[in-house]
Chain A
Amino acid sequence: MHQQVPILKIDDFWIASVQGSLHDQDVIEFKQALLSKIMQPKSRGLIIDLTVLDVVDSFVTKTLIDIRGLAKLMGIPVIIAGMSPAVAITLVEMGLSLEGVDTALNLQKGLDKLRNAGKER
């Protein structure tokens, strides 16, 4: 069974809420779906909400870094929202850093961040 990650649009911001656990193929499809969304004109930002994601391993981390890298090329800010403390601690201990990836406590804070960044421009 494959898990679809819903990708919503609020104003010009894309929001993807990852549900539960993802298989590798889901992760790959998720990345492709996100990239095709943010390539659309008038995209101004992307929030990936990990609130209910159980495990972030090196494969998922690599995917997040890839997404962030490509979005950066297109000038689109990416925010990772809602990563649980346990997942964050585990990532740090593994020596994985989401370097250059902006984070927010939750979806709302992520949206606020993107909106404020937009105003500053």
Chain B
Amino acid sequence: MLERESSIENEFDIVAARRGAKEVANELGFSTVDQVRIATAISELARNVVLYARMGSIVVRPFCEGGQQGLEIVVADKGPGIPNVELAMTDGYSTSGGLGAGLPGARRLMDTFRIDSQLGQGTTITARKWKA
């Protein structure tokens, strides 16, 4: 019901995706800080999609596990993949002259964070945030 899927191709989609995620988080009753955490993580992951894979998709959906409610985000692309995930997750590592804070930062903002990436196939990042 609250699930939202959006395609990500340009900078406008990045803004729309983080706004959408914030709305869903708000409807689910996440705190203001958590809404900003989630929106910021989405912003980082969506920008990576545009920057490195050109296009992809984002799904934002509520989930319930062990009686605990939360929000799950799945960001997927069919881009070049990440050759060395561990390196990409290192603070300050960037192949584009950025701060290299997107992936490690997003991981810290969420409760769980998983990267599935295959060279030449693409990258899927699944992250969850539980309601405090």
Contact = CB atoms under 8 A, between A and B. Distances in A.
Contact of A24 (B11, B33, B39): B11
Contacts of B32: 86
Interface stretch (A56-64, A69-77, A102-110): A56-64
Nearest to A57: B43
Contacts of B37: 90, 93
Interface residues of B, number: 27
Binding site of A, secondary structure by majority: helix, strand, loop or mixed? helix
Q: DSSP class of B's interface residues: helix, strand, loop or mixed?
A: helix
A10 interface: no
A44 B105 CA distance: 35
Contacts of B40: 55-57, 90, 94
Interface string A78-100: 00000011110110011110000
Contacts of B128: none
Q: Give the one of A62, A84, A85 with max B CB within 10 A.
A: A62
Contacts of A62: 98-99
B105 A58 contact: yes
Interface of A: 21-25, 54-59, 61-62, 84-87, 89-90, 93-96
